[in-house]
Amino acid sequence: MASTLLEPGAHVPIANALPGAQLPYVMAAGHGDRFLLNGQLLTVIARPVDTGDLFGAAYLSGGRGAELPATTDAAEHRTVIVFDGLVQVWLGSETSLLSPGDEVVIPAGTSFAYRMLAGENRLLLWSSPGHSLELLSRLGTPTASHVRPARAERLVSLDEFRAVGEEFGVDVTAVPLFDAARQPAAGARHAGLPRTEEAFFLSAGEGERYLGADEMHSYMSRGANTGGRYFAVESSGARSGYIPLHFHQQHTENFICLDGRVRLHVNGREVLLSKGDFVHAPAGTIHSYAYETAYARMVGVLAPSIFEPFFEYVFSPTEESIYTEGAVPGFNGPGFGRAQAELDLVVVGPPPERVAGLDI
């Protein structure tokens, strides 16, 4: 499914509220629809109704020992990124320990479960089209709190999970027992991406990397891994100016800050993102980004995956794990021209000027 094209630049982004329609919006960390669920705080930052049935996204925050049952969705693709803490993840028949920046990609039909092991933990769950998040919201208790509970006041039973799961076509089973013998060594987690819709773990900083001047782009997943529904790329860089203003006609672009600060220009509004902040830019949203701090990282999730070749066209493949600071800037004119000709990219103006917070 393609993102519905809005009138380019027409909608000022909504701030800290889910729009209930496919409109641009900005969600600061901690905001969104919030629910208590088995000792965790579920913070929903995108629902299918907000994204044209392309995806849903939410944070799950909890303390040591917090977990949810294993779920298997026959139709949904999911990606989980660890933001804080240490988490044991079960993925089909495999298990691994994940730390901040690590990722797990869960294709349809694959069982997924987790247990939080640090004192404070936070996961980002991305799902397409979003059934699993609707399931969790249904089971949770609405709350005005912005922090996870000190303890679970009510535990949703496995039978309750199963009953509601059936309504969403989700199979629910108990979380596997902790089994140290089944944990792969840290270096054994996949450093590359499979070419098919198969489950995999990806360590922070790995993936297929492409280098530019003072920036790096790493594919965390490709359309081949998600049935073409979305792809994810981690981008890092030094403080920079904006890129040219542009919009997309057939896909939505989403930005999530991982480290440092990232500046975005969204339909004429300038916003500054820090860790956990989220921007949804559906088709027709005129936007641009800039790295604001000396070092910043963000994840871009683009749905569907039609824009995936852009980074291959414009940047250079590399085996390096970090960009070279102070590299001579360059512009790949032929590569950018190819992207404009072949991909969903409409440039409408030069890079905008910074306006707010110039001294931070």
Q: What are phi and psi of 15, to 5 degrees?
A: -110, 125
Residue 326: predicted pLDDT: 83
180 with 289, same domain: the answer is no
Q: What are phi and psi of 74, to 5 degrees?
A: -70, -15
Assign residue 73 the CATH number of its domain.
2.60.120.10
Residue 178: predicted pLDDT: 58
Residue 8 covered by a domain: no
Task: Give the side-chain half-sphere CA count within 13 A for 176.
Answer: 19
pLDDT in tens, 291-332: 999 999 999 999 999 999 999 999 999 999 999 888 777 778
Residue 358: predicted pLDDT: 55
User: What does the alpha-carbon distance between residue 44 and residue 34 come to, in Å, rounded to a whole number?
Assistant: 6
Residue 314 covered by a domain: yes
* Cβ neighbourhood burial of 173 (10 Å; 0-12, 13-18, 19+): middle
Residue 197 covered by a domain: no
Q: Give the pTM.
A: 0.94
Examine the fold and report which residue of 163, 188, 213 is the final residue of a domain before the chain moves on. 188
230 with 304, same domain: the answer is yes
pLDDT in tens, 195-222: 999 999 999 888 899 999 899 999 999 9
Element holding 265 (H helix, E strand): strand 262-266
Q: Which domain holds residue 247?
A: 205-349
210 with 248, same domain: the answer is yes
Which among 268, 241, 246, 265 has a CA at the least distance from the CA of 255?
Answer: 265
Residue 250 covered by a domain: yes
Residue 121 covered by a domain: yes
**Residues 282-314 as b or e (16 or more Cβ within 10 Å = b):** bbbbbbbbbbbbeebbbbbbbbbbbbbbbbbbb
259 with 328, same domain: the answer is yes
Q: How many domains does the chain have?
A: 2
Residue 213 covered by a domain: yes
80 with 133, same domain: the answer is yes
CB 76 within 8 A of CB 131: yes
182 with 236, same domain: the answer is no
Residue 1: predicted pLDDT: 64
181 with 210, same domain: the answer is no
Structure tokens at 234: 């981690």
261 with 289, same domain: the answer is yes
Residue 188: predicted pLDDT: 39
Examine the fold and report which residue of 188, 221, 251 is the final residue of a domain before the chain moves on. 188
Residue 93: predicted pLDDT: 80
102 with 216, same domain: the answer is no
Residue 152 covered by a domain: yes
180 with 216, same domain: the answer is no
Residue 185: predicted pLDDT: 45
At 116, is the secondary structure helix, strand, or coil?
strand
217 with 337, same domain: the answer is yes
37 with 155, same domain: the answer is yes
Examine the fold and report which residue of 188, 214, 242 is the final residue of a domain before the chain moves on. 188
Residue with tokens 């999970």: 161
Q: What are phi and psi of 346, to 5 degrees?
A: -125, 110
DSSP letter assigned to residue 181: G
Cβ-Cβ contacts under 8 Å for 3 (sequence gap 6 or more): 22, 51, 52, 54, 248, 250, 251, 252, 282, 283, 303, 304
Residues of the chain with pLDDT below 70 are 1, 177-191, 356-360
Residue 194 covered by a domain: no
